[in-house]
Structure 1
Amino acid sequence: MLDTAMEIIREQGADALTLGHLAERAGVSKPVVYDHFGTRSGLLIALYRQIDGLQVQALVEALATAPRQLSEVAWLISTSYMTCHRLAGPEGHAVFAALAGDPQMGAVQQELVDGCVAIFRDALAPFSSLPSEDLYQRCVGIVGAAEALSRNMTGGGMDEAAAIGNLMALMRHGIDARET
């Protein structure tokens, strides 16, 4: 059903995604969709979690084999992040925008951002001279910048290579790198 929901968003925009429309397109009864997602917000949150889960999985897999050089780690993080957003396309940001102001989404978004910040912090820590809390705060900013860059990229404001390069530069220069 989530793939069908993304198709609806891709073809008609996020406003067209309703539980009833999803049931019709997926060929299931409305009670099946309502039982599974509860509300439209529940459906959108499930889509957002799916997009995030794919991003986290790709990033964790890439980092597991990363050489121990800052430039390589920054490249892997940046490439994984932007590739995920390119693959999700503008639909990923449309899902997020459709949830703006939703009380449930605030908690979910914070949970997912915290997870991403922790991954960035752990991957960048060997290369930083900052105290752990300072590095964490810098990574909060880097994740925010990554989101802004990906939004600009998927909206056509820059190409993927530029988004990757800019995110890499922010990481390399933002963590108070030490020579390794």
Structure 2
Amino acid sequence: MSKDERRAQLLATAWDIVREYGTDALTLGALAQRAGISKPIAYNHFQTRPGLMIALYEDINQRRLQTVAAALREVPANLADVAGALASAYMACHAALGPEWHAIGAALRGDAEMQRYQRTMIDGYVEFYHRFLAPVSPLRSDEVRRRCVGIVGAAEALSDAMVLGRVREEVAAGDLASLTVAWLSAPA
């Protein structure tokens, strides 16, 4: 098995452990045992438990962005449709990931490396949203980028509420799309 294939296998195994037993059960030793490999192989791939958690988080995040980008290629290039597709895909991805996504982030909240990664991830979301929303908004590009910071924050808050069962997926997506359209429409 190539190094990339082994890493993919280990990340899939890590995700299974988190789903079945929670984040506290995910250690490099538990991963090695479950994957049927030696501990040094697990350590070679991830170095530390936070390194493993970040790699898992990053892998899930990249797949989520690919799913959203694919959905956006299928919609007409207007603000309402792009905002709706972004919101629906975002919430669908969070619903599919379930509470494990948030549990992984929470497990590493005090870790400096994870905090740097989360900041980079949020900045990436802002750029991702900007890339798709700036062309369909009448606002200046820098204004759209700045407002995307708030839109991404709202997306995170709504997805948290959805995962906790406080709001249904379609309502969260509708609220996010509505907020996006209202905030990125022509200035009054």
Q: Same fold (TM over 0.5)?
A: yes
Q: CA RMSD in A?
A: 1.5
Cross-structure match for 1:143: 152
Deviation at 1:127, TM superposition (A): 3.2
Distance 1:69 1:130, change over 3 A: closer
What's the TM-score, normalizing by structure 1? 0.93
Cα-to-partner distance string for 1:111-143 (whole Å, 9 max, x where unaligned)? 221121112112111332333222211101110
Select 2:80's aligned residue among 68, 71, 75. Answer: 71
SS for the counterpart of 1:100 is coil
AA aligned opposite 1:150: S
Structure 1 equivalent of residue 132 of structure 2: 123
Structure 1 gaps of 5+ residues are none
Partner residue, 1:49:
58
**Which 5+ residue runs of structure 2 have no aligned equivalent?**
1-9
2: CA distance between counterparts of 1:2 and 1:122? Answer: 29
Match for 1:32 among 29, 32, 41?
A: 41
1:178: which partner in 2?
186
Q: Give aligned pairs, total.
A: 178
Q: What is the letter of the counterpart of residue 35 of structure 1? A: N
Percent identical among aligned pairs is 48
TM-score, normalization by structure 2: 0.89
2:71 equivalent among 35, 51, 62: 62
Instruction: Tell me which residue corresponds to 2:26.
Output: 17
Q: Residue 103 of structure 2 aligns with which residue?
A: 94
